[in-house]
Structure 1
Amino acid sequence: MFKFYDQAKIYVKGGDGGAGAVAFRREKYVPEGGPSGGDGGRGGNIIFMGDEGLRTLVDFRYQRHYKGNRGDHGQAKNCSGRSGEDIVLRIPVGTIVFDDGTGETIADITEHGQRIIVAAGGRGGRGNARFMSNTNKAPTLAENGEPGVENWLRLELKLLADVGLVGFPNVGKSTIISQVSAAKPKIADYHFTTLIPNLGVVELEDGQSFVMADIPGLIEGAHSGAGLGHEFLRHTERTRLILHVLDISGSEERDPLEDLRIIQDELRLYSPELALRPVIIVANKMDIPGAEEQLQRLKEAVEDGCEIFPVSAATGEGLKALVYRIAQLLPDTPVPELVNLPVDHLVTKAQSDKRFEIFKEEDLFMVVGKEIEKHVKMTFFEREASVYRFQNILKAMGIDEALRAEGIKEGDKVEIAGVRFDWV
């Protein structure tokens, strides 16, 4: 059975850069050749690409971790390593990508083929040829590759449809979309038959077409998350035109005017921008006795200029006129911009302005900071020249002086990015 998934949380990490090489020219008539170690290759990126053929985030429910390919190491004769191949992940058009830790919007995929790098690969480490200078003609120094960017991402799919059908459960939304398009949603005579949004392409004889979305039934309190409120309302944010479907016959012993008021309030409370979208009221179930009287009440109650289309989804009456009116309105109806998420979706993470911080546990001093942690990961500690350069980095960043101020003594241990050193 197909299941619709419109949210996912995944981990992505760009590929690490390849290590630089330490090598020297060895030629017959060049007894003391210079350094010739090449640079490492760049790590592969993790890229999202919009695909209009996808309608769900189901693939990310089964695989949640994606790691980029590492760049090849540098080689002798100034040969650079090959860059890691990028990994391209196809996601549905209409997906918004958030940083799961901060709530920040990273990308909004709105077009087919749109590409965005969500985890960049690390640069390749420099080979020893790059460290030659007037004072050091034969450097034995090289770098490890830079680590790739890593992050947890939250994906939210908001359907990109021209027209959205909203209304209470069992008012006939699924029947309407099944009549005017090739979509085949589940239809039954009970509430909440539709639990997932359905998309259908409506095609007219003159070649025009538009996408219609059947948004599952809303209930009072949906704006605050009642029922599956946020799950459903999210998909109305991108629709250009809203069709408010009413059971005009009152067959469920409901008042269609009260239903109209409640749904309008739910849209407004969820997002004021939604309440300003163009709306057509669809008075459905006109084939049921008593519908004509209720329709007259509706016409007297709504504001002038608000269009009302009486239809019967069961018999098809009135649907053709509705479809052609929608096609007439859409060319002059702008595509809505991204609606801001409710404040409770955002998480604020405190950011420190310090380049590094030092924490002490007995005789262990832990140094934390992105910059110094990156230097640790890019240092060859097996090579004396690399260790000497790392010590200079500690001094230049002020870490050496800060550790002394914290009272570090001979024999104490220092830990940075999981690597421990003896303080000498």
Structure 2
Amino acid sequence: MKFVDEAFIDISAGDGGNGCVSFRHEKYKEFGGPNGGDGGRGGHVWAVADPNLNTLVDYRFSRRHDAGRGEHGMGSDMFGAAGHDITLKMPVGTIITDAETGEVLYELLKPGEKIMIAKGGDGGFGNMRFKSSINRAPRQKTPGWPGEKKALKLELKVLADVGLLGMPNAGKSTLIAAISNARPKIADYPFTTLHPNLGVVRVGPEQSFVVADVPGLIEGASEGAGLGLQFLRHLQRTRILLHLVDIAPFDEGVDPVAQAKAIVGELKKYDQKLYEKPRWLVLNKLDMVPADEREKRVKDFVKRFRYKGPVFQISALTREGCEQLVQAVYQHIKAQQVAEQPAEVDVRFGGGEDVNP
């Protein structure tokens, strides 16, 4: 399925029903009085985070979504029924913004999270509401309130643990195909990846993480060059970035160090927090380098790149070094998850009270 990460929709909550003017007309009720009921409220529009969805493609073809109108009030003290609500299922990580102002309104971060994104209008008052000691036969009523109407932009940031970044043809698609269940398009020309690919990497029983392969970046991506700007935001929520570098480019005039520095520069221009995120260096296409030259070339690259973090040497094509990379990434993610968990409090001993063992 094509990954759709952006969509525009128009939503409309239901209008409230009008109040009713009515009087009791019964044989033995000479002064029956007013009995017009209130109108029903309009239906709300809800958004719910569905963990089974990973795309906004449904909203590309279905733009308008309307909740039901509340029924009008009736005689005999009968209130109108409320309009039916509608629930829009969206992937976890969807950001909902006002399409006109760009203001971020809501954010769905947790599976099952439910948010009201448009409130239905309240129902109008019937004439029974206006009865008083000096107004025995009121003929007033109020119309229902209109429901909220909004033009929204939906934006999905990939909720992956690991993000792959690098120049086109750095081998990102080959790597994600080698270590996960994703099957992206792979070819010997740039920009084979046009949409983000998600893959689940299984380390062991009930041990896995999600990796995102996004289109390759080029210099100037933060200003809109190439495909990078559209997908840089997908890297913002990952726990760690793997910077893939083609250590053996076909073109002898290409300097891998200059390319790697250009990628880092684009990250810093786009988002300082993204630049400061943990980033590991992965030197790919090791199979293209003669065995007796590998160590020298790797040391030269690290020295010129002035990199002091973890360095992994792999060949995504032959899967050499991939298992060590996967294990290291999983241990890093697991350590982060443990650190993020709140400290457990022993409820047996707390509150400053003496507790007998």
TM above 0.5: yes
What is aligned with 2:264? Answer: 264
What is aligned with 1:52? Answer: 51
Question: Displacement, 1:162?
Answer: 0.5
- Show the 5 A alignment for 1:13-412: 13-253=12-252, 254-290=254-290, 292=294, 293-303=296-306, 305-333=308-336
3-state SS of paired residue (1:204):
strand
Question: Displacement, 1:228?
Answer: 2.1
Q: Which AA in structure 2 matches 1:74?
A: G
Question: Displacement, 1:302?
Answer: 4.5
Question: Displacement, 1:334?
Answer: 6.8
- Post-superposition Cα deviations, 1:162-212, rounded to whole Å, max 9, x if no partner, equal 100000001110111111111111111111011000001111124211110
Q: Which AA in structure 2 matches 1:88?
A: T
Distance 2:226 2:134 in 1: 72
3-state SS of paired residue (2:316):
coil
* Contact 1:218–1:232, Cα closer than 8 Å, also in 2: no
* Contact 1:249–1:294, Cα closer than 8 Å, also in 2: no
Q: Which AA in structure 2 matches 1:326?
A: V
- Post-superposition Cα deviations, 1:9-50, rounded to whole Å, max 9, x if no partner, equal 111111001111111223332111121111111101111111
24-33 or 92-101: which moved more?
A: 24-33
What is aligned with 1:345? Answer: none
Question: Displacement, 1:227?
Answer: 1.6
Distance 1:191 1:250 in 2: 12
Distance 2:244 2:232 in 1: 15
* Contact 2:216–2:227, Cα closer than 8 Å, also in 1: no
Distance 2:284 2:136 in 1: 85
3-state SS of paired residue (2:204):
coil
Give the direction of change, closer, same or farther, for the CA distance of 1:89–1:29 in structure 2 (3 Å limit): same
- Post-superposition Cα deviations, 1:38-97, rounded to whole Å, max 9, x if no partner, equal 111110111111112222211112121111100111122211111111110111111111
Distance 2:297 2:214 in 1: 24
* Contact 2:216–2:228, Cα closer than 8 Å, also in 1: no
- Post-superposition Cα deviations, 1:86-126, rounded to whole Å, max 9, x if no partner, equal 11011111111111122111011111111111111100111
What is aligned with 1:392? Answer: none
3-state SS of paired residue (2:286):
coil
Distance 1:255 1:46 in 2: 54
Distance 1:333 1:303 in 2: 26
Distance 2:97 2:206 in 1: 38
Q: Where does the alignment leave 5 or more consecutive residues of structure 1 unmatched?
A: 336-424
Question: Displacement, 1:304?
Answer: 6.1
3-state SS of paired residue (1:66):
strand
Give the direction of change, closer, same or farther, for the CA distance of 1:334–1:259 in structure 2 (3 Å limit): farther
Distance 1:6 1:206 in 2: 31
Structure 1 runs of 4+ with >4 Å offset = 302-305
Distance 2:305 2:15 in 1: 62
Sequence identity (%): 48
90-99 or 288-297: which moved more?
A: 288-297
Match status 1:3 vs 2:2: yes
Question: Displacement, 1:305?
Answer: 4.2
* Contact 1:240–1:334, Cα closer than 8 Å, also in 2: no
What is aligned with 2:352? Answer: none
Q: Where does the alignment leave 5 or more consecutive residues of structure 2 unmatched?
A: 339-357
* Count of aligned positions: 334
Give the direction of change, closer, same or farther, for the CA distance of 1:252–1:112 in structure 2 (3 Å limit): farther
Q: Which AA in structure 2 matches 1:76?
A: G
